[in-house]
Each structure stands twice: as structure tokens, then as C-alpha cells.
A and B are shown apart, each in its own frame.
Chain A
Amino acid sequence: MERSLKQFETDRLESAKAAARLILASGTTSPRVGGVGECSIHILDDPCDIEDVCQEMERMAEVKKSWGLFRRDAAMLRDADAVLVATTMRCVSDPADINCNMCGKLVCEYFREAERMPDDPDVAFRGPLCIFRATNIAYAIDGMISQARNLGIDYGVYWSVGAAAMRMRILPQKTGYALGVAISVTEKSPFRDIPKRYGEINQRSMNDRMIQRLWPQFRSIYS
């Protein structure tokens, strides 16, 4: 029997969901500093959940000029089939106690006493955070990237996703720092070849403007 394109579309989405689970597995089993687990990875594979994050990112893009890139990230994220958010939880209040001075506080005792950034709209992550603990997230992210590459799945890594998800309070409460990995099972990676002004000019908005608007007009006139 002939297969429909619609079937292909649902299978494609299903494969993205299955891949997200495998990518989560690789991110979870990647190394942790001192063998102490503290990261969690959360899958958003519902398009409505992803849309919520995109809208929060667009709200955040209004806050600061340097966060203008969040608009572009949101446009890319809307094309993603699933989003994984990796968090690190011990970096806020449980430093690694090795006095490494990466935070600039010399010893962990001073880090614990240091004043944290206020919960202001222009603060994405309330530092100072334990940099040594937070390296775990780098390992988690690269674990996910390497699995995505092995599976042949397109990926993009965005800090805007982590910041927006933290602001939406959909991550575990203790989260101090989060990063997002978006994956996509499509013929053209939506995370590459990003032209200027992608936030306003992209596949979706062009489609909306040319095909969804001009064609119906043409059709109703010439029918």
C-alpha cells in the first residue's frame, strides 16, 4: 500500500521523541566532577511547551540590548522537534570544597558568604555560582551533543533556553544554571544557515506572508 506523507510526518516526530530519550541517556551518564551527581535533564517534546519557552525568550529579549539574540533563538527553537534542558543544582549553595578560586572568592567559605545577585529581570543567572560544579553541565551538554552526532540528528545549544526555562520556574527549584539543547529530525537543519534578522524573517513568517496570505487572495479572485 502506498504510504502517505502524513505518516512520514508523524513517524518523523516520533523518531525525534525517541532520540530525545537516547540523548538524555548519554547526557546523564557523562562524567561528573568528583563523581557527585547534581545535574538533571528535562525533555520538552510538546510543541505547546516549546512555544511557551519561545514566548518567554522573546519577553526576555526586550529586557536588554545584549539579549537581542534571544529573538533569533526563539525562531530557531520553534522549528525544533524536541528541546532538552540541562540543569546544575549544586552550583548555587554546595561548592565543591576544593578552594579552586574560579569564582574569584579564593576559598569556598567566602563563596558561601558572598552576596548573590538579586532576582531582577535583567539578571539571567543569580551568580556567583560554583564554576567548578557547573562544569558538570559542560560534560552533560557534550554528552548530549556526541549522542546527537552519533544518531545523525541536528542539534543546537542555547543558553537562552536555560535562562528562559529558569525564569518560567519549570525546572527544579534549586537550579542555579541551565542550558538547552534543541534537536530536530528534518531534512534541513533549522539550526544552521541563520541569516540576519532571522527573528522576523524566517521560514514561518515568510510562509505566513507569501503563501498563507497571497495565495488565498489569488484563489478567491481567480476562481
Chain B
Amino acid sequence: MTILEMTSLVENGLDRAVELMALSARNSFRFNDRNTVKIISVQGDELEQIAEYCFSLGDMSPLAARDGRNLVQLMKEPSALMILGEKRKSDFNYNCGACGYRTCAEMNKAEEVESLTANGPVCMFKSVNLNIAANAAAATAHRLGLHCRVFSTFAFAALSMEIITDVDIAVSVAVSAARKNPFFNRHEYWTQEHWDEIFNREFPTYNRGFIGAVED
């Protein structure tokens, strides 16, 4: 067979692109040359579970719900989610104080605070290393012409659902080969009336000069 259909071309290309993103994330700049970032890619059922989980957080976090809804739309066309994770304890011995402890040893000995989103306290340089890797992956996706956005909500979901294990903090890079960029200008999620209502509530001075007088 010498003719390849566009769908298979795009899907195979997306798989290769995710592999290249993982490569550039792994080889990105990092402090102290410590390559400890854990990288996984999520597709299919697990992605659906992440979307449902985020959507179910609606009451607690409207942002997660919005992203969950976005992910459901995203999965209708070729897409993938890369999740990068990192441990929280410092192996740098910089003793810089950014975490709120005077030395790295003190921070590593401090009581671990667990939560759904991340385990703290986290070494600042660990976090910077992780996010430089995430940005390198995003830069590669951008150069390959993929639609791309970095999400912390999906990463938090993957962390609490134990899709990515053995890490304390995580960040995710979503890529898509959709016809329209699905990550920005997401106006399909609300009507004009809803948008106007929220806008008028949040920015009352835009339409009203004096906000002391409440009319209702």
C-alpha cells in the first residue's frame, strides 16, 4: 500500500511529535545538571478519566471544570497530553532560602504537607527545572506546528488519580492537531448573555461610574 490517508498521517505524526517533545524536555537546560524530571504521555481512556475528574471538581474549582470541558472537546480530534513530574526535596545544597527554610537540609527534614494538587514544601529550583522542561516541550511542539498549551489542572488531576506516580509536583503540556486552535479564544463555552452578566458583575465600573449605588 503506497497511499497513506491523512488521518493516519496526522496520528502517526502526533505520536512522533510527542516523542520529540519528550526528547527536548529531557535535554533542556537544568540547574546542577540533575536530570530527574519524570515524563509520561497520556492518551485514550486515562485522558478521558482526567477530563471527568477535572469536570467533577466544578464546585471547588471553576477553572478545572472549564479545562475538563475543554479536554472533552480536545479528544474529538487527534491530541495528546504530556505530564512531567518532579520530586519536591532539594538535592542542590544551594541553601538559598526561597522555600522559606534557611538550608536545604532543614527543608528536606520539614514535615511533608500532602494535598490533592501537590506535596509541599517544594524546592524552588526543582520547580524551575520542571517548568523549564515543560516549556522546552512546548517550544518543540510550537516549532512542529502543533497547537499547544501548558495546563497545571490536568497535571494536578493526574497526580491525585495516581496516573503519574512517585512525584510530588507535576505540570502538563497538551498538544492537538485540530483544525482550529482549541486552546485559545474558547468562546463556545458560554453565551453572550452569560458573558455580559459575568463581566458586569466583575467590572462594575466599566458601565457605571460610581459603584456605591447598588440598584437591585
Within 8 A of B (CB), among A19-62: 30-31, 33
Bound CA span A202–B131, Å: 33
A31 — which chain B residues lie within 8 A by C-beta?
135, 138, 150
A159 — which chain B residues lie within 8 A by C-beta?
31, 94, 96, 125
Give how many A residues have a beta carbon under 8 Å from the other chain's beta carbons.
43
B84: min CB distance to chain A, Å: 11
A130: min CB distance to chain B, Å: 10
Q: B70 contacts the other chain (Cβ, under 8 Å)? A: no
Contact at A102–B94, with CB atoms within 8 Å? Answer: no
Within 8 A of B (CB), among A46-98: 64, 66-67, 98
Bound CA span A138–B93, Å: 19
Q: List 12 A-B contacts (CB under 8 A).
A: A67-B95, A102-B118, A102-B120, A102-B127, A104-B112, A123-B102, A128-B121, A132-B152, A142-B28, A142-B135, A143-B135, A163-B96
Q: Mark A129-148, 1 if CB is under 8 A from B, else 0.
A: 10110110111011101100
Our pick among B28, B63, B94, B100 for the contact of A128 (Cβ within 8 Å) is: B100
B150 — which chain A residues lie within 8 A by C-beta?
31
B113 — which chain A residues lie within 8 A by C-beta?
101, 104-106
Q: A174 contacts the other chain (Cβ, under 8 Å)? A: no
Contact at B97–A126, with CB atoms within 8 Å? Answer: yes
Contact at B98–A104, with CB atoms within 8 Å? Answer: no
A100: min CB distance to chain B, Å: 4
Contact at A104–B121, with CB atoms within 8 Å? Answer: yes
Give how many B residues have a beta carbon under 8 Å from the other chain's beta carbons.
46
Residues of A within 8 A of B (CB): 30-31, 33, 64, 66-67, 98-106, 114, 116-117, 122-129, 131-132, 134-135, 137-139, 141-143, 145-146, 157, 159, 163, 177, 179
Within 8 A of A (CB), among B136-181: 136, 138-139, 150, 152, 156, 169, 171
**Contact A100 B29, CB 8 Å, known A124-B98, A137-B128:** no
Question: Which residue of chain B has its CB nearest to the CB of A177?
Answer: B98
Q: B35 contacts the other chain (Cβ, under 8 Å)? A: no
Contact at B118–A127, with CB atoms within 8 Å? Answer: no
Contact at A102–B128, with CB atoms within 8 Å? Answer: no
Our pick among A104, A106, A123, A177 for the contact of B122 (Cβ within 8 Å) is: A104
Contact at B31–A127, with CB atoms within 8 Å? Answer: no
Bound CA span A146–B113, Å: 35
Question: Which residue of chain A has its CB nearest to the CB of B64?
Answer: A98
